[in-house]
Amino acid sequence: MDQKFYTVEEVSEQLRLRGVKFAPRTIRKLIADGKLRAVRFGERTLYVSESELNRFLSEPDGPGQWRTLTIASR
């Protein structure tokens, strides 16, 4: 099975579709801080695998939980 990879901009869009707004700059910071793993194909472009994005979203303190907390606090 082939693994799907997303660019930083696509990760930002995927998160937005799930109700979490992170700018591409924030995604790059998460990668630099080691909170989101990415690979580099070529010289500049970073890619995040679909499985890594799902792992990040399902972490207890990940952005998927932030959305739940925001909704619950309204």
Per-residue tokens: 8: 């930083």
Say what percent of the chain tops pLDDT 90: 54
What's the pLDDT score for residue 47? 96
Q: Is 39 in contact with 7 (CB distance < 8 Å)?
A: no
Task: List the one residue out of 8, 28, 24, 14 whose CA is nearest residue 64.
Answer: 14
DSSP state of 35: S
Say whether pLDDT at 70 is over 50: no
- The rounded distance, in Å, linking the Cα atoms of 25 and 28 is 5
**Residue 47, beta-bridge partner list:** 7, 39
